[in-house]
Structure 1
Amino acid sequence: MNSTAIDTAGIARALRAMGSAIGAQYVFTTEEDRIAYSDHYSADETSHQPLGAVAPATVEEVQAIIRIANEHKVPLWTISRGKNFGYGGSAPVVKGSIVLDLSRMKKIEVDAENGTVLVEPGVSFFDLFDFIQEHKLPLWLSVPGNSWGSVAGNALDRGVGYTTYGDHAARICGLEVVLPDGDLVRTGMGAMSGSPNWQLYKPGYGPSWDTMFCQSNFGVVTKLGLWLMPEPESVLGFDIDVDKPEDLGWLIDTLAPLRRQGIIQQSPSIGNWLRAAATLTLRDEWVEPGKPLTESVITAIRKKFNIGWWGVAVRWYGPLEINEATSRVVEKAFAGKPVMAMRPTRWVKGDAPEGSPATGVPVTYPLANANWFGGRGGHVSYSPVLPVNGALALDQYRRTSALYAEYGMDYHPSFAIGERHMTNVNQLLFNRDDPDMMKRVDSFMRALVKDATAKRYAEYRTHIDYMDLIADTFDFNNHALRRLNERVKDALDPNGILSPGKSGIWPANRREKRS
C-alpha cells in the first residue's frame, strides 16, 4: 500500500478554511463519511481510507479548495462520482488524503445540431440519458456495462461502451481544467474566449492537451466536451455463441478483419459463459463453497441458461438499407464456421426501445456478478492489451485460465476487439467474507501481471493498489515515460497536492513512497 505521514493538524486547519469557502455542510469528516469514501471492494477498507471529503459545486469553489490545499500542503484525491468500483471507488492512493468530490457539479449543455455535449464531472450516464429523453433530442449515448458513474470520469479513465462511439476517450473534444496552482485553462478551441468550435475541433492551435488529463494527476477537469452519436435509423446485428473454449481463436480471426475494414464499427466483446451466468445465478446453487467448478457443472449452467462457452454481441448502426447489406456480409464471413447459435437482432426507428447498452441505454445489472460467491462480494480486474490475433488469444486464455485454477478462482474473462488491438479483461470475483480467498487475491493479481509482462503485454488501467506495479511494466529506456510524467508533475504541482500516486505518478515530495 502507498502511504506517507499526514499532517492531521494541518488538514484540520485546511478543512476549516475549505468549509468557509464552500459551506461547512459540504465538508465531510465523520467516521461514517470516511467509510463512505473508502474502497468498498477492498479486503481492508481502512488501507486507503481518506480523512474526509469536500464537495464543491462550482469551478470557483474548486479553485478555492486547491489554493487552500496548496497553502496547507494537503493532498487531495479527485473523484467525479466515485463509482469506479473494482478500481478503488472513491478511495485515494495515499491514505489520509482529502477526497475532492465533484459529484455536485452537474451542468449539461447539449448542441443537438452538431451532436455534442459539455458536461460537468457530477453528470452520470443516467442524468445525461434522462436529459436527452426529456428534451427529445435525436442523440444516443455510449454507456459502459455499469452505467451509474460519471460521463466525464469514465471518458478520462478511458472507459469503453458498446456502440460505434464506444471509445469514450477518443470522443473527448475540449476540456476546462483547474491546474494545481488554481489557474484555469480551456483546451483546444476553448482557449479562445466564446469560441463556437470548442466541442467541434479537437486540436485547437499548437500542442493538444486533452489526452494529458486522461488517467493523470496534472489537473482537475471541471468541464468535458464529448461527441454523441446521432440517433440511427436502425440497429441490426447477431448474438453469437460458440460451444468450445478453443473456438475463441477462429472467432477472433473472423471478427478482426470485419472490425479493421469498418464493417463492424463497435468493439465486440467476447465473454465466456461465466460473464453471463454470474448475473443470472449464484455459485452455491451449483456447487458447495470451496469446491471447484467441474466441466459437468459448467455444462449444466450453460444448458439452463442456453449460453455458449463464449458469446459475443455484434451490432451495426445506421440506415436500414446499409445495415441489411452489412448483415449479409457478416453472415457470409461466418458461413461454414462451427457456430453454436447465431441469432439475428433488429431494431428500427419506431420500434419499442430495446433498452440495452447496445442502444445507448444505461444499466447497472452487470454489478450483480460481484455476488457470484455470495457474502459481501467484490471484484478487481487485470486487463492487458494484445494484438488482435486468434492464436495469441488462445495462448492468453490457456495461460491465464491455468493461473485462475492454480489460485482457486473462477475464470471470468472477456476479449474486446478494437480496430487494431484487443483488451483481455480478466475479472477476479471474490467474497470479502472469505478470509482465505481474500489472501489469494493480491498474489493472484501479481501473478497475472508477471505472466502478461513476460509476453510484453501491458495493462490499460488498474486498481489503486496496483498503479505503481503497472507503471513499472512500462520500462523502455529506464522508465523514460514515468520520468517524463514526473517532470511534468513537478512543474505543474510543486507541492504535490493533486492525487499523488495516481497512475504511478508521484510528486517529488512523496516519490520515495513509491511501492
Structure 2
Amino acid sequence: MSTCAVSRPPACTRKVRLWENACVELILPQGHSERSYHNALTAFSAVVGQEWVLATDSDRDTYMDAYALGDGRNRAPGAAVAPASREEVQAIVRLANEHRVPLWPVGRGKNLGYGGTSTVVPGTVVLDMGRMNRILEVDEKHAYCVIEPGVGFFDLYNYLKDNNIPLWMAVPGNAWGSVIGNALERGIGYTAYGDNAEQLCGLEVVMPDGDLLRTGLGALEGSKGSYHYKYGYGPSWDQMFMQSNFGIVTQAGVWLQPEPQMSAKASITLPQFADIGWAIDKLGDLRRRDVIRHNFVFGNFMHEAAVYSQRSDWYDGEGAMPDEVAQKIIDKYGMGWWSFRLNVAGGPGMVEAHMKEISDALEPQLDYKLDWTTWQQGDPIERSARGIPSVTALQIVNWHGGRGGHIGFSPVMPQDGELALAQATRMKARFEEYGLDYYTSFTMGRRHINNVNLILYDRDNVDMVTRSRGLFTALIEDSAANGYGEYRTHIDFMEPVAKSYGFNNQAQLRFNEKVKQALDPNGVIAPGKYGIGTLNGGVEA
C-alpha cells in the first residue's frame, strides 16, 4: 500500500440485475466483480430492508455532487445504503469488511461545495445516515444536547424553539446540513459557540471492524459526565474522528449557548480594498481579548452581489469583472468593498461595555458611527444575535446562470493585517489571471483567519470549469509556498492538499496512513478522504 497516494481508478460500469425488477448500470470500484458487489448489496438489504439499499440509476444520480466541476462521474458512488440505527451501521460495516466493499459515511449529505455525497473512489457505497435523526436528549440546565448524525440545523433549531428551551446554537452559512457532520468537518457558525468542532463533547463511534467506542468519560460504564467533560482518562481521541476516515460517528453530545440576557449587533462597511489591513489588526486585537467573542465573516462585495443579483445584471464581458463594474455594485448596494457584522451577548453591563470598546476602536477609522441594534429577553427573537438557520447563501451558485456551482479554497493565516492585505492582493490577481470573479472573505477566529475564496462557475461551461480547476491548483501551490495550509477541501483536491503538508517528507500523511492501516486494513471506511488510504480490498469473492 502506498503511503502517500490515493488511487484514482476509472469507474467500471456494467449493466447488472440487482433485484428482480431492477437492471441498472452498476459502477464498481476497481478490482470488484459484479458478484461480490451484488452479494454485498443483497447482504445490506437483509439489514436495512430492500427499500433502503438505493442502487438504481436514478437513486445513484441523487448522490452525485450537485456542484461538481464537470459531470461528476469521476466521483460517482456505486449505490447507497440507509441505516436507521447504530446497530444497523455496525452490521453494515461488518458486511463491508466481509465483501471488501468501501463505504462513504454522510450525515445529511449537504456538504455542498466540498463534494456533497460523492466519493473520492468511484463506486464507493454511500452510507447515508439521514434516517438516524433523533434528538436523544436536551439538558437545559447544563446546556447541551445529544443527537444523531441525521439531525440538521433546522431540526435542532425548531426543536429548541417549539419547546421554548432557552438555548442557542451556532449555524453555518448553509444550514441545510448535519449538525454533527458540520462539526466533524470543522465547520463554523457565527455566535460565541461558532467553532462547531469545539462544541462536540462525547462521541459514539463505530470503528472500521464494527466495534463500538465511546470517547472521553463515555468510556466509563454508566458515566454521568459524558457530555460535561471532553477528555476522560488517558489519551483523548475525539480529534481523531474529525476530518478523517478512522471511524463513523453515530451519536454525539453538542454544547449549546445559554440564552443571554441581552445581545447587540452592528453592520460595518469599509469602502476601500486596502482597508482590510488596519481592520484585521483592530478586529484581531478585540477578538483575542474576547471583546468580540464570536467568529465572523469579513467579506468582499461579492457576498451580497451574488445572493441578490446575477453577473449578467452587471457585466457580460469575458474574463474577470473589471474594478469599475465592481464599484458600480458597491455604489448600488452601499455595501463597501468589505463588510461584516459583529455581535455581543451577555449581561447588560458587559454588552454595553463591549459595544463601547468596539465603537471606540473602529470609529476613528470610519466616517460614521456604529449603529447597534439591541435585543433583550422577551423581545422577538429575530432581533437577536441568535444563530437562525438559513439557506439563502446558496443563491450564490446562480451568479453565472445555468447549472451553477461553487468550490471553496480556504487557507488558514495569522491575524495580521499586512499579511491579509498581501494575501488579498495576491488572490485577486490569481482570480483575474484565470478570468474568474474574485469572491473572498476572511473569517476571524480566536487567533487565526480563514481566507475563504469561493470560485463560482457554470458546470456546463467547459472552459470555465477548466479555468476553475486551474485556479484551484495554482492556489494550493501559492498558499503552500507562502506557508498557509488549507483547512478543508473538495474531494477532487484532497490528495494534493494533503501532500502540500510536506514537513519532513510528509510525516503527517505517513502517520495518518499508519493509523489507517492499523484500524482499517480492508480500507472500507471512506477510502481517500482527506488524502488518507487507498482501496485495499477488492479481491473477487
Instruction: Identify whether the pair has TM-score above 0.5, normalized to the shorter chain.
Output: yes
SS of equivalent residue, structure 2 residue 371: strand
Once the two structures are TM-superposed, the CA of residue 417 in structure 1 deviates from its matched residue by 1.2
Residue of structure 2 aligned with 1:22, choices 44, 48, 55: 48
Question: What is the distance in 2 between the residues matched to 1:341 and 1:67?
Answer: 62
RMSD: 1.5
Question: What amino acid maps onto 2:57 in structure 1?
Answer: E
Do residues 422 (structure 1) and 428 (structure 2) align? Answer: no
* Compared CA separation, residues 501 and 135, structure 1 to 2 (3 A): same
* Compared CA separation, residues 466 and 291, structure 1 to 2 (3 A): closer
**Runs of 5+ consecutive residues of structure 1 not aligned to the other structure:** none
Residue of structure 2 aligned with 1:171, choices 199, 208, 212: 199
Residue of structure 2 aligned with 1:359, choices 386, 389, 394: 386
Do the aligned partners of 1:241 and 1:341 also contact (CA within 8 Å) in 2?
no
Do residues 337 (structure 1) and 362 (structure 2) align? Answer: no
Residue of structure 1 aligned with 2:325, choices 280, 291, 297: 297
Structure 1 equivalent of residue 302 of structure 2: 274
Do the aligned partners of 1:242 and 1:311 also contact (CA within 8 Å) in 2?
yes
Structure 2 equivalent of residue 385 of structure 1: 412
Structure 1 equivalent of residue 131 of structure 2: 104
* Compared CA separation, residues 259 and 75, structure 1 to 2 (3 A): same
Structure 2 equivalent of residue 146 of structure 1: 174
Structure 1 equivalent of residue 14 of structure 2: none
Structure 2 equivalent of residue 33 of structure 1: 59
Do the aligned partners of 1:79 and 1:99 also contact (CA within 8 Å) in 2?
yes
Question: What is the distance in 2 between the residues matched to 1:175 and 1:266?
Answer: 24
Question: What is the distance in 1 between the residues matched to 2:367 and 2:251?
Answer: 46
Do the aligned partners of 1:239 and 1:345 also contact (CA within 8 Å) in 2?
no
Query: Structure 1, residues 154-196: CA drift from partner, whole Å, max 9, x if none?
Result: 0000000000001010111000000000000111111112212
Once the two structures are TM-superposed, the CA of residue 291 in structure 1 deviates from its matched residue by 5.4
Query: Structure 1, residues 442-465: CA drift from partner, whole Å, max 9, x if none?
Result: 111000111111101000000001
Do residues 374 (structure 1) and 374 (structure 2) align? Answer: no
Do residues 350 (structure 1) and 407 (structure 2) align? Answer: no
Question: What is the distance in 1 between the residues matched to 2:397 and 2:92?
Answer: 36
Question: What is the distance in 1 between the residues matched to 2:500 and 2:260?
Answer: 41
Once the two structures are TM-superposed, the CA of residue 224 in structure 1 deviates from its matched residue by 1.1
Structure 1 equivalent of residue 527 of structure 2: 500
Aligned length: 510
Once the two structures are TM-superposed, the CA of residue 341 in structure 1 deviates from its matched residue by 6.8
Which aligned pairs between 1:79-478 and structure 2 lie closer than 5 A? 79-108=106-135, 109-290=137-318, 292-339=320-367, 342-354=370-382, 358-478=385-505
Do the aligned partners of 2:263 and 2:375 also contact (CA within 8 Å) in 1?
yes
Once the two structures are TM-superposed, the CA of residue 269 in structure 1 deviates from its matched residue by 1.4
Question: What amino acid maps onto 1:155 in structure 2?
Answer: A
Question: What amino acid maps onto 1:409 in structure 2?
Answer: L
SS of equivalent residue, structure 2 residue 370: strand
Question: What is the distance in 2 between the residues matched to 1:456 and 1:294?
Answer: 30
Do the aligned partners of 1:271 and 1:413 also contact (CA within 8 Å) in 2?
yes
Percent of aligned positions that are identical: 46
Question: What amino acid maps onto 2:147 in structure 1?
Answer: V
Do residues 9 (structure 1) and 35 (structure 2) align? Answer: yes
Question: What amino acid maps onto 1:28 in structure 2?
Answer: L
Do the aligned partners of 2:102 and 2:525 also contact (CA within 8 Å) in 1?
yes
SS of equivalent residue, structure 1 residue 315: strand
Question: What is the distance in 2 between the residues matched to 1:279 and 1:340?
Answer: 26
Question: What is the distance in 1 between the residues matched to 2:228 and 2:444?
Answer: 27
SS of equivalent residue, structure 1 residue 114: coil
Question: What is the distance in 2 between the residues matched to 1:136 and 1:39?
Answer: 37
Question: What amino acid maps onto 1:11 in structure 2?
Answer: Y
Residue of structure 2 aligned with 1:484, choices 483, 505, 511: 511
Question: What amino acid maps onto 1:503 in structure 2?
Answer: Y
Do the aligned partners of 1:258 and 1:264 also contact (CA within 8 Å) in 2?
yes
Query: Structure 1, residues 323-362: CA drift from partner, whole Å, max 9, x if none?
Result: 0111111111113213567332222222222278x41110
TM-score by length of 2: 0.92
Moved more, 57-66 or 5-14: 5-14
Do the aligned partners of 2:320 and 2:431 also contact (CA within 8 Å) in 1?
no
Question: What is the distance in 2 between the residues matched to 1:487 and 1:295?
Answer: 49
Do the aligned partners of 1:242 and 1:340 also contact (CA within 8 Å) in 2?
no
Once the two structures are TM-superposed, the CA of residue 295 in structure 1 deviates from its matched residue by 2.8
Moved more, 292-301 or 427-436: 292-301
Once the two structures are TM-superposed, the CA of residue 306 in structure 1 deviates from its matched residue by 1.6
Query: Structure 1, residues 256-276: CA drift from partner, whole Å, max 9, x if none?
Result: 110011111101210000111
Moved more, 133-142 or 6-15: 6-15
Which aligned pairs between 1:57-68 and structure 2 lie closer than 5 A? 57-68=84-95
Question: What amino acid maps onto 1:44 in structure 2?
Answer: D
Query: Structure 1, residues 390-434: CA drift from partner, whole Å, max 9, x if none?
Result: 000000001100000000000000001111111100000111122
Question: What is the distance in 2 between the residues matched to 1:448 and 1:137?
Answer: 44
**Runs of 5+ consecutive residues of structure 2 not aligned to the other structure:** 1-6, 10-28
